[in-house]
A and B are shown apart, each in its own frame.
Chain A
Amino acid sequence: MKQAATNSAALQGAGHDKSGSLSANIAKFRELGLLLFIVILSVGVQLRNPSFLTWENISDIATNTAILSILAVGMMLVIITRGIDLSIGATLALSGMVSALTVSQYPDLHPLLAVGVGVGVGLVCGVVIGFLVSWINILPIIATLGMMNVFRGLTFETSGGKWVSAHQMPESFKAIATGSVFGINNLILIAIAIYIVAYYFVSHTRTGRRVYAIGSNPESAEISGIRTGRILWLVYSIMGGLSGLAGVLWVSKFASAQGDTASGYELSVIAACVLGGVSIAGGVGKLSGVILGAVLLGILNNALPMINVSPFWQNFIQGSIILIAVLVNALVKRGIDRNNLMRRKI
């Protein structure tokens, strides 16, 4: 595959004369474009349904987007290393279920401990996947596809197939997601905190930069002495830990833990990433893009029912978004390559 890819790199230049400079510009203004699209979408929806841009609905969108954007951070790191993680929906469900069961057993447990339980479970899941990917060298798609089923099965097994519903959860647990500080919802605050930490991690720590390095060129990472295996392991563990956190928040927010919680949610997360310009080919991805991608998806999910689009269209729309986003990313990349070629004087 890799050989074919490098070989085709030479070919890609041909046949795309028209899109060349235009798509290079898209790369520069991707974030601006996303922002513009968000504004247009919002105005459009608002015209159809005036209750869209109300304070209540906006804060609803924000809390819904918070969980998605937390997961998108982890997924961005995974995709930057040329990987993918299909198991996060199941990890989220498992850790949400375990923490819900814990608080229903011990209602006096401090909510922070409940969060700790969820994050811990997610972390273990992530560590297992990281081990499979980095040490046993299993393709990420296969490893996470397999573990997705294992985690999903475990979720059913731990709960005995039953739900944990609102009345089984103590108020303090539900308050994790519904409470607020200075009038701002906790979920939003947590998401902001995670973005700040993530920003620091990817731009100001060695390890963070090396995540990009191994995605940009794995062979030379090996030569320059970067311990690729460890970083891969770390990335999948972070993804697992964030999924665990998201699991607790999800269960707390919806006050219900089920066997099929967040089934298929990984697809929304991947969509948010590719929409935000994270390159499937590795090495490229910005937090600012990812957060806009997540916000756009959050608005879309909220807006579609408001303009009477049937919920059954959701899958199709999401899939199309992923496909179009990766195609645009690819064309943008080709445009940049083409521009670089044109600049070479011969």
Chain B
Amino acid sequence: MAEAEYVLELRGITKIFPGVKALDDVYFKLKPGEIHALMGENGAGKSTFIKVITGVHAPEEGDMFLNGRKVSFKHPTDAQKAGIAAIYQHVTNYPDLSVTENIFMGHEKIQKGTRRIRWKEMHEEAGRLLKELGAGFSPKTLMGALSVAEQQIVEIAKALSVNAKIIIMDEPTAALTKNESEELYRITERLRDNGASIIFISHRFEDMYRLASKVTVFRDSKYIGTWDVDEISNPDLIVAMVGREISQLFPKTEAKIGEELLRLEGLGKTGYFADVSFSLRRGEILGLTGLVGAGRTEVCETLFGVSKHDKGTIVFKGQELKVKSPKEAMKVGIGYLPEDRQKQGLVLQWGIGRNITLPALKRFSNKGMLNNRKELDLAKQLAEKVGVKAKSVFTLASALSGGNQQKVVFAKLLTGDLDVLILDEPTKGVDVGAKSAIYEMISDLANAGYGIIMVSSEMPEIIGMCDRVAVMREGRITAILDREGLTQEAILAASMDDSAPATDGKRGAGA
């Protein structure tokens, strides 16, 4: 019987956003009582895919079947009613409301007739769910006061409270430590044993091996394939996700390592990071990795003058550095490629030319008056240098693919006279072709004598590109690994293991 075989099936789903195909003819089948891993790199289309299932986005093409019956959700509530619940990557909650309300938002228990909210019952139910999940906080706590891991438990309680038959978890472990992840694994298995079918999205292999029986891979918005977890080997899976073998992907050349450019000494910022020390030399690519929320971006933003540190010192070219704004940072020679290129890197409504020249308006202006001719020449020259594929410098940034957008942001960095480049997730949401072009560019920049800090969550690119790697966990550096000792296991141990005290984890060459 076809009806009972799959609780959820999607066929030929295509979703188009202005200028981008976010999903291109995608397939997915979910069996009852199964934990099905959905894997792919950042930007492969996983998050859009979930939003299609949960009715947030309506697909342009394709069909969706629930227990064999064709459905089409017009609204998120339709999906909720059909028993689908999603736990999103960026926890979506109401910080000003209580945990109970967050759990029951959208399906509050109300008295028949008077339509009054049955608070007592809701609090009790919430308390029961939280206890079941092993949480130690009261359901009356304000959501905003909880940690990320605790908020995730609330999200799971929410899925439980609607008796969801299909639960989608979007990168739930991205910000969790080892113990927290273990706890999450246990909860997930319990959900499955109670009859729920689970789509578990991750780009971490251990999540998949630990939990899933099936794995489906997306790449560049396309469906690549579905396998049994014990059927596919690790290298094959990487090829499926990345599109080619790792050795071909990274054009890392040995650059000449020169004098020290930058040194952090015990840098700290209350609530974000503490005691961060490392150094960077000319021609070196220093990786900075760790879990989401480990404080990597915060350290970089401090170096770039976006925010202030309150402890420790930064030494730049032998002098203590005190930058109060990105402008000052760029003036002394520090450039930053931000993590979110659409929100922080580009003015999407503008042409690529204006975007490229924005950080360097002084260069082609005379006493504040713009010289358009000079500006366009520079924009054209830099856009060609980084290989942006576009018709003209007036092509809108919003109309470019992710990879081309990222190249534009790189071109912005080249307008300045810089020594240190901080690249925060430089290949996030970029297709494979553009990825290797970006790696090549990074390698060339290192050869040209820049010191590069590369922040990344992608294990392969950290291992493939970096001369040294600093691993952060919960705001502290737990290890600095040399290229020789660089293995996935070593990085993971340093970034996730919360059994050992943070400062004892230092290995390899120190700062």
Q: Do chains A and B touch in the complex (CB under 8 A)?
A: yes
Known: A223-B76, A223-B88. A209 touches B307 (CB 8 A): no
Contact pattern, A 184-219, Cβ under 8 Å of B = 1, otherwise 0? 000000000000000010011110011011011101
Q: Please state if B77 and A225 are interface contacts (CB–CB under 8 Å).
A: yes
- The chain B residue sitting closest to A281, CB to CB, is B96
Q: Does A11 contact B (CB under 8 A)?
A: yes
Contact pattern, B 84-112, Cβ under 8 Å of A = 1, otherwise 0? 00001000111111000100011010100
Chain A positions 287-346 with a Cβ under 8 Å from a chain B Cβ: 338, 340-342, 344-346
In the assembled complex, the Cα of A342 lies from the Cα of B119 at a distance in Å of 32
Q: Does B270 contact A (CB under 8 A)?
A: yes
Give the distance to chain A from B249, nearest Cβ to Cβ, in Å: 33
Q: Please state if A10 and B115 are interface contacts (CB–CB under 8 Å).
A: no
Known: A216-B96, A220-B94, A223-B88. A14 touches B310 (CB 8 A): yes
Count how many pairs of residues, one from A and one from B, have CB atoms less than 8 Å apart in the complex: 104
Contact pattern, A 274-287, Cβ under 8 Å of B = 1, otherwise 0? 00000000011000
Q: Please state if B97 and A205 are interface contacts (CB–CB under 8 Å).
A: no
Residues of B within 8 A of A224 (CB): 76, 80, 92, 105-106
Q: Please state if A346 and B76 are interface contacts (CB–CB under 8 Å).
A: no
In the assembled complex, the Cα of A205 lies from the Cα of B119 at a distance in Å of 10
Contact pattern, B 402-426, Cβ under 8 Å of A = 1, otherwise 0? 0000000000000000000000000
Known: A3-B343, A224-B105, A341-B272. A346 touches B475 (CB 8 A): yes
Residues of B within 8 A of A346 (CB): 268, 271-274, 295, 474-476
- The chain A residue sitting closest to B91, CB to CB, is A220
Q: Please state if A204 and B310 are interface contacts (CB–CB under 8 Å).
A: no
Q: Please state if B271 and A213 are interface contacts (CB–CB under 8 Å).
A: no
Q: Does B298 contact A (CB under 8 A)?
A: yes
- Which one, B56, B106, B295, B307, contacts A14 given CB within 8 A? B307
- Which one, B95, B270, B474, contacts A342 given CB within 8 A? B270
Q: Please state if B117 and A205 are interface contacts (CB–CB under 8 Å).
A: yes
Q: Does A34 contact B (CB under 8 A)?
A: no
Q: Does A124 contact B (CB under 8 A)?
A: no
Residues of A within 8 A of B310 (CB): 14
| Interface residues of B, count at CB 8 A | 44
Residues of A within 8 A of B93 (CB): 217, 220
Q: Please state if A212 and B88 are interface contacts (CB–CB under 8 Å).
A: no
- Looking at A13, A206, A226, the one whose CB has the most chain B CB atoms below 10 A away is A206
In the assembled complex, the Cα of A215 lies from the Cα of B96 at a distance in Å of 9
In the assembled complex, the Cα of A205 lies from the Cα of B101 at a distance in Å of 12
Q: Does B20 contact A (CB under 8 A)?
A: no
Q: Does A50 contact B (CB under 8 A)?
A: no
In the assembled complex, the Cα of A10 lies from the Cα of B300 at a distance in Å of 13
Q: Does B308 contact A (CB under 8 A)?
A: yes
Chain B positions 251-294 with a Cβ under 8 Å from a chain A Cβ: 268-274
In the assembled complex, the Cα of A346 lies from the Cα of B307 at a distance in Å of 18
Residues of A within 8 A of B80 (CB): 224-225
Q: Does A15 contact B (CB under 8 A)?
A: yes
In the assembled complex, the Cα of A234 lies from the Cα of B70 at a distance in Å of 35
Residues of B within 8 A of A213 (CB): 94, 97, 101, 105
In the assembled complex, the Cα of A49 lies from the Cα of B144 at a distance in Å of 47
- The chain B residue sitting closest to A11, CB to CB, is B307
Q: Does B145 contact A (CB under 8 A)?
A: yes
Residues of B within 8 A of A11 (CB): 306-308
- Which one, B108, B270, B301, contacts A209 given CB within 8 A? B108
In the assembled complex, the Cα of A210 lies from the Cα of B117 at a distance in Å of 12
- The chain A residue sitting closest to B109, CB to CB, is A206
In the assembled complex, the Cα of A221 lies from the Cα of B106 at a distance in Å of 9
Residues of B within 8 A of A203 (CB): 117
Q: Please state if B96 and A341 are interface contacts (CB–CB under 8 Å).
A: no
In the assembled complex, the Cα of A200 lies from the Cα of B145 at a distance in Å of 26
Residues of A within 8 A of B108 (CB): 206, 209
Chain A positions 1-33 with a Cβ under 8 Å from a chain B Cβ: 3, 7, 10-11, 13-15
- Which one, A204, A212, A222, contacts B119 given CB within 8 A? A204
Give the distance to chain B from A247, nearest Cβ to Cβ, in Å: 30
Q: Does B116 contact A (CB under 8 A)?
A: yes
- The chain A residue sitting closest to B114, CB to CB, is A204
Q: Does B507 contact A (CB under 8 A)?
A: no
Q: Does B75 contact A (CB under 8 A)?
A: yes
Contact pattern, B 294-322, Cβ under 8 Å of A = 1, otherwise 0? 01001001000011101000000000000
- Which one, B55, B117, B144, contacts A204 given CB within 8 A? B117
Q: Please state if A223 and B92 are interface contacts (CB–CB under 8 Å).
A: yes
Known: A223-B76, A340-B145. A212 touches B274 (CB 8 A): no
Residues of A within 8 A of B55 (CB): 225
In the assembled complex, the Cα of A219 lies from the Cα of B92 at a distance in Å of 8
Cross-chain pairs A/B with CB under 8 angstroms, 5 sampled: A14-B269, A209-B101, A216-B97, A223-B56, A346-B295
Other than A217-B93, A341-B271, give 20 A-B pairs with Cβ distance below 8 A.
A10-B272, A10-B307, A11-B308, A14-B308, A15-B308, A200-B116, A205-B115, A209-B117, A212-B94, A212-B96, A213-B94, A216-B97, A220-B93, A223-B54, A342-B270, A342-B271, A344-B147, A346-B272, A346-B475, A346-B476
Instruction: Report which B residues bind A (CB closer than 8 A).
Output: 54-56, 75-77, 80, 88, 92-97, 101, 105-106, 108, 110, 115-117, 119, 144-145, 147, 268-274, 295, 298, 301, 306-308, 310, 343, 474-476
> What 3 pairs across the A-B complex have the smallest Cβ distances?
A341-B271, A220-B92, A225-B77
